[in-house]
Amino acid sequence: MYTNFEKYDIILIILQKLKGLITIPELPEVENVKRSLENKVIGKTIVGCSVINEKLIKKPTVQEFAKDITGLKITYLYRRGKYLVFTMDFSYELVVHLGMTGLLIHVNNINEIPQKYSKHLHVLIQLDGNTLLCYCDIRKFGSLRLLRQINPYEAIAKMGPEPWEIGVRKSFKTRLSAKKWTNKTIKEAIMNQEVIAGVGNIYASEALYASRIDPNRLVNKITDVERELILTNIQDILQKSIDLGGTSISDYLNGEGKKGQFQNYLKIYGKKKCECGADLKTVEIKGRNTFYCQNCQK
DNA sequence: CCTCAAGACCGGCTGC
DNA sequence: TGCAGCCGGTCTTGA
Q: pLDDT tens digits, residue range A5-57?
A: 333 444 434 333 333 344 567 888 888 888 888 888 999 999 999 999 888 99
Residue at minimum CA to C1' distance from nucleotide C7: A21
pTM for this prediction: 0.87
The reply to whether the CB atom of residue A138 sits less than 7 A from any atom in nucleic acid chain B is: yes
Alpha carbon distance A28, A248 (integer Å): 12
Predicted local distance difference test score (pLDDT) of residue A150: 82
What pLDDT is stored for residue A234 in this prediction? 94
CB atoms within 10 A of CB A47: 14
pLDDT band at A94 (very low <50, low <70, confident <90, very high): very high
Query: Straight-line distance from CA A275 to C1' B9, in Å?
Result: 37
Chain C nucleotides reached by a protein CB under 7 Å: 7-11
Beta-strand pair A143-148/A21-22: unpaired
- Please report, rounded to whole angstroms, the spatial distance between the CA atom of protein residue A117 and the C1' atom of nucleotide B14: 21
Separation of A249 CA and B15 C1' (Å): 33
Residue A291: per-residue pLDDT: 87
Q: What is the DSSP string of A54-89?
A: GGGEEES-HHHHHHHHTTPBEEEEEEETTEEEEEEG
Please report, rounded to whole angstroms, the spatial distance between the CA atom of protein residue A180 and the C1' atom of nucleotide C14.
20
A160-215 pLDDT, tens digit per residue, is 999 999 999 999 999 999 888 988 899 999 999 999 999 988 889 899 999 999 99
pLDDT at residue A10, as a whole number: 43
Interface residues, strand C, Cβ cutoff 7 Å = A 20-21, 24, 26, 58, 81-83, 97, 99-100, 139, 141, 143, 155, 191, 193, 200-202, 287-289
Distance CA A290, CA A222 (A): 18
Protein residue with the closest CA to the C1' atom of nucleotide B13: A20
Q: Which residues pair with A134 in a beta bridge?
A: A105, A124
The CA-based angle A161-A166-A169, given to 5 degrees, is: 65
At A159 the pLDDT is 92
Distance CA A276, CA A139 (A): 37
Look at residue A231 in the predicted model and tell me its pLDDT: 95
Average pLDDT, chain A: 82
Task: Report the C-alpha gap between A142 and A122 in whole angstroms.
Answer: 10
* In chain A, residues 153 through 212 whose Cβ sits under 7 angstroms from any atom of nucleic acid strand B: 180, 184
Asked if residue A229 lies in contact with residue A186, where contact means CB atoms within 8 angstroms, the answer is: no
What dihedral do alpha carbons A29, A49, A120, A7 form, nearest 10°?
Answer: -60
pLDDT at A110: 86
Please state the rounded mean pLDDT for residues A272-295: 86
Residues 6 or more apart in contact with residue A240 via CB below 8 angstroms: A262, A265
pLDDT of residue A113: 84
